Amino acid sequence: MLDYSDRQLGETSISSQQGMQNFMAYGNKFVEEKRQKPGSDIVSLAVTGELPKGLGKLTPLEQLMVFSVVTVAGLETTRNAIAGGILAFIHHPDQWLRLQQDGCLMNSALDEILRWTSPTPYNRRTATRDVVIGDRLIRRGEKVTLWWASANRDDTYYEQPFVFDIGRQKNLHMAFGSGGHSCLGSQLARLEMRVILLHLLDQVDGFRLDGDVNWVRSNKHTGIRSMLVRFVKRY
């Protein structure tokens, strides 16, 4: 999965195309295994479950897309949030010290990292009915782009939105979307981030950049391709 994701980071090349082919080939094999021997996981549910209102099962292509969405969404976004969070602490060392001194700030720190990094800056939706937002009529079937990164810097909601504050209390960010489209893996992502930060808190007093940050060439994912970091070991 990491090989596929590394090739796909905002690039268009023969290498990334081959990575996609390999990924989908693996996905087809994985879905078929779940079809033959289903478990209690999400992909098994997508393969064996029935849609409401008598619509039957998902098509094989739709089943493959469920595998793709669950895999990619749970990989790139989480590691981008972790890397972006470390970069935020590099730029704001006082916040790392603050977290070291008060572990009770962990939950709010995770939310602030997610708000600050906005791993998925936008997503697109299709209107299921006519609706008026502000003074704009959006008709059924029209596409709407939701800029979550912009919402996460909304100064009509956030106090000092361009300040990285791990103790921020009012922080209903949009990093995981909202409503029926909320991220299925949000709790897993939080857990992964928590585990990483707890290990770092036990062993590291701080971080230093050792070179430039190489960002992903993508407007779909706020990601870091490479970032050399020196850890200040705790003695």
Q: Tens digit of pLDDT for each residue in 198-213?
A: 999 999 999 999 999 9
Going by pLDDT thresholds of 50, 70 and 90, the confidence category of residue 110 is very high
Per-residue pLDDT for 1 more than 80?
no
| Residue 66 contacts residue 42 (beta carbons within 8 Å) | yes
Q: Tens digit of pLDDT for each residue in 140-181?
A: 999 999 999 999 999 999 999 999 999 999 999 999 988 887
Going by pLDDT thresholds of 50, 70 and 90, the confidence category of residue 13 is low
Q: First-to-last CA distance in the chain?
A: 36
DSSP string, 15-54: HHHHHHHHHHHHHHHHHHHHHHS--SSHHHHHHH--BTTT
Compute the distance between CA of residue 111 and CA of residue 3 in angstroms, rounded to an integer. Answer: 28
Compute the distance between CA of residue 207 and CA of residue 86 in angstroms, rounded to an integer. Answer: 8
Residue 234: per-residue pLDDT:
82
Mean pLDDT, the chain, rounded, equals 89
Which of the given ranges, 13-22, 82-91, 178-187, has the highest pLDDT on average? 82-91
| Token pair of 230 as six digits | 């020196």
| Residue 187 contacts residue 87 (beta carbons within 8 Å) | no
Compute the distance between CA of residue 138 and CA of residue 127 in angstroms, rounded to an integer. Answer: 7
Q: Which of 227, 223, 195, 224 is nearest to 119 (CA)?
A: 223
Beta bridge partners of 214: 226
